[in-house]
Structure formats: structure tokens, C-alpha cells
Amino acid sequence: MNIILLGASGQLGSEWQSVINEEYSEAGDIILLPYTSSQLDITNHEAVRNEVREQQPDVVVNCAAFTDVDGAEDQRNKAYHVNVEAVANLAELGAELDYKLIHYSTDYVFPGRIEDKKTFPDGYPENHAADPINYYGQTKWEGEEAIRQASQKHLIIRVSWLCGQFGNNFVKTMLRLERERDRLQVVNDQFGSPTFAGDVVKNSLQLIRDDQKGTFHLTSRGLITWYDFAKEICEQNGVNVNIEPVKSDAFPTKAKRPSFSKLSTKKLESVSGTILINWRDGLETLLTQIQNR
């Protein structure tokens, strides 16, 4: 299976390379062709078309995205070019050249209302109506729709609170702040569950092997706040820091954040071979990976 990986130097793209190199290289049934954004800019439609035509992949995995949530409010054209137009081009090429497109989306496509916590105790299902509360979420939703309109041969995988051993994320930020400060404030009124990059790659591969199509949610088991997450990071890391729970308005942001963004994983759980872990177990594995790097 020949796989083109776009956005290879990002948090998720780097994880794809790590998992393939460490766990699948000996099998020899996967040939991964990674491209960083500087090597192949997905907004350069002609360059993408030429490269894909030459390589003739079975699968294209798109990890490239404009992910600066606050920045998207000001850089709307750039966010739209990357998250919508470039994605539509990949989907149209997929229909033309007959490859499967794997694309990652976000919990931010949903409204994130706190009252939805009671309505959907297991999280938003895949078919719940989209209603993004910020422009980043809007572009990710429009990118999803562009894929659905262009090609049936796709997997759209929504994740939330993504963190991994590569790149920047909440876990790494907390590990740094724990070393620098004796006291931290973390919001305690936003509910969700972290998604660990290694699990994303492994479950994505299982969905590909099982020839699944459509939209899936992928995250860890449990429902927590960022405050809960920060406390557990400190505890597992053996650091004694005073963490104070605060409301979201203590940290004003340009883009509105969802109060509730848990994703239901019942659909994913029905697929044989997929593995969903508790968020504490996922954190323990991630901290070990970070410490060993």
C-alpha cells in the first residue's frame, strides 16, 4: 500500500512517520511517502496534482491544516485556502485518480453548548448537525463537506484536544509551566477528552485496512476539563504545583471556544481491531514517550 503523507512535519504527520517506522517497517506492506508543507504546499493545486499523478498512491493522508484557532479569525483567506480549497482539490483528485483520502477534522465543527453535555453524555455523534462557533471550525466543516461532495472514497476522522510526542500541545505546555512556576490557573468550564496522536495513527490504519469509509470520531474514553487534565499531568509527572481552577473568561481569546466538545466513539468501537483507551492511560503512555525522546 503506497501512502502519500501531507503535512509530514506537523504533530500528527510526525506521529504517522514514527508509527510506520517503528511498528510497520518490517512488514514491508506500507510504503510511506512523506511531504512537509515546504516540500509540497497543498494550496499549490498544480504541484499537488503533478506529484500525486507521478506517485500514484493508494491512499493520501492529509495532516496539513491551518490550525491557529485565534489566527483564523484574522487570517481568514489563508485559513480558507488551506482548510477548504486545498482539501476540495485533494478530494477531486481522489475521485479522478481513484485513491482514498484520509482527512482529519475537529470537534470544533459542533456548537459546543454546555447544555449538550446532558443531551449527549457520551459525546456528539457523527451525524449531529454542525454549527461551528468560530471561523476555524467553519473552515474545517466546509472542508469536510467539500470532500463528501467530490468523492465517496474517503475517511474523515474528527479528533479533539490532540496531543502527542511531537510538536506543541497542552501536555507539553503544562510540562514546561510546571518547571517554571509554582502556581498555575487552568480553565475548568470546558469539557471534553484528549486524543493521543499515536492512537489516531493506529486506528486510522485499522480503518484503512478494514476499507471503512465516511466519518468517524476518535478520542479517548472519559470526560474531563482542562483543569482535570492539568492536575493529572502534574500528578503523573510527580510535580507539586498549585493549580487553580478558573472560568474561561479569565483567559480571553479572539475565537470563541466550545464549553462541551466530547466526541462519541460508538461508531469507531463497532469496527473490529480498533482500540480506544482511557485518557489517563493515554497520558501515561505519552509522558513516557516524551521522557524517552
| Segments making up each domain of the chain, as ranges | 2-168+193-221+262-278
Q: What pLDDT shows up at residue 281?
A: 98
d(CA 257, CA 261): 9
Cβ burial of 223 (10 Å; 0-12, 13-18, 19+) is: middle
pTM of the model: 0.97
**Catalytic site positions:** 136
Tell whether the model's pLDDT for residue 29 goes beyond 90.
Answer: no
Cβ burial of 94 (10 Å; 0-12, 13-18, 19+) is: buried
* Band (26; pLDDT cuts 50, 70, 90): low
Tell whether the model's pLDDT for residue 23 goes beyond 90.
Answer: no
Tell whether the model's pLDDT for residue 70 goes beyond 90.
Answer: yes
Mean pLDDT, the chain, as a whole number? 96
Cα angle 247-252-256, degrees, rounded to a multiple of 5: 90
Give the cell for residue 189.
468550564
CA distance from start to end of the chain: 29
Tell whether the model's pLDDT for residue 28 goes beyond 90.
Answer: no
Q: Which CATH code of 3.30.450.20, 3.30.360.10, 3.40.50.720, 3.40.50.2000 fits the domain covering 2-168+193-221+262-278?
A: 3.40.50.720
Q: What percent of the chain has pLDDT over 70?
A: 99
Region 139-146: what's the mean pLDDT?
A: 98
Give the cell for residue 293.
525522546
d(CA 247, CA 235): 22
- Find the radius of gyration of the CA atoms of the chain: 19
Over residues 226-285, the pLDDT tens digits come to 999 999 999 999 988 999 999 999 999 999 999 999 999 999 999 999 999 999 999 999
Q: What pLDDT shows up at residue 52?
A: 97
Cβ atoms of 30 and 20 within 8 Å: the answer is: yes
d(CA 198, CA 216): 16
Our measurement of the distance from residue 289's CA atom to the centroid of its chain's CA atoms, rounded to an integer in Å, reads 18
* Band (173; pLDDT cuts 50, 70, 90): very high
d(CA 31, CA 74): 39
Tell whether the model's pLDDT for residue 206 goes beyond 90.
Answer: yes
d(CA 100, CA 57): 9
- DSSP letter, residue 243: E
Q: What pLDDT shows up at residue 27?
A: 67
Cβ atoms of 55 and 33 within 8 Å: the answer is: yes
d(CA 107, CA 252): 20
Other C-beta atoms closer than 10 Å to the C-beta of 1 total: 14
* Band (293; pLDDT cuts 50, 70, 90): confident
